Amino acid sequence: MNLTTQAIVLREVNYRESDKILTLLTRDSGKLTATARASRKKGGGVSAAAQLLVWSDVVLKEYRGRWLLSEAVTNREFRGVREDLDKLALASYFAEVTELLAPEGVPAPELLALLLNSLYALESLDRPLPLVKAAFELRAMCLAGYAPALDRCALCGAEQPEEPRFHLREGVLHCRGCRVGDGISLPLDAGSLAAMRHITSCPARRLFSFRLSGPGEKRLGDAAEGFLLTQLERGFRTLDFYKQIKNN
pLDDT value for 65? 83
pTM of the model: 0.95
Confidence (pLDDT) at 39: 84
Q: Per DSSP, what are the bridge partners of residue 67?
A: 34, 62
- pLDDT, residue 133, reads 98
End-to-end CA distance of the chain: 49
| Gap between the Cα atoms of 74 and 90, Å rounded | 22
**d(Cα 23, Cα 25) in Å, to the nearest integer?**
7
Beta strand pairing status for 165-167 and 19-26?
unpaired
Rg (alpha carbons) of the chain, rounded to whole number: 20
What pLDDT score was predicted for residue 90? 98
Task: Tell me how far apart the alpha carbons of residues 68 and 32 are, in angstroms, rounded to a whole number.
Answer: 10
String of DSSP letters for 170-220: TTEEE-TTS--SSS-EEE--HHHHHHHHHHHHS-GGGTT-----THHHHHH
Average pLDDT for runs of 10 along the chain of length 248: 94 91 97 92 83 96 90 95 97 98 96 98 96 98 98 94 95 93 93 98 96 95 98 97 92
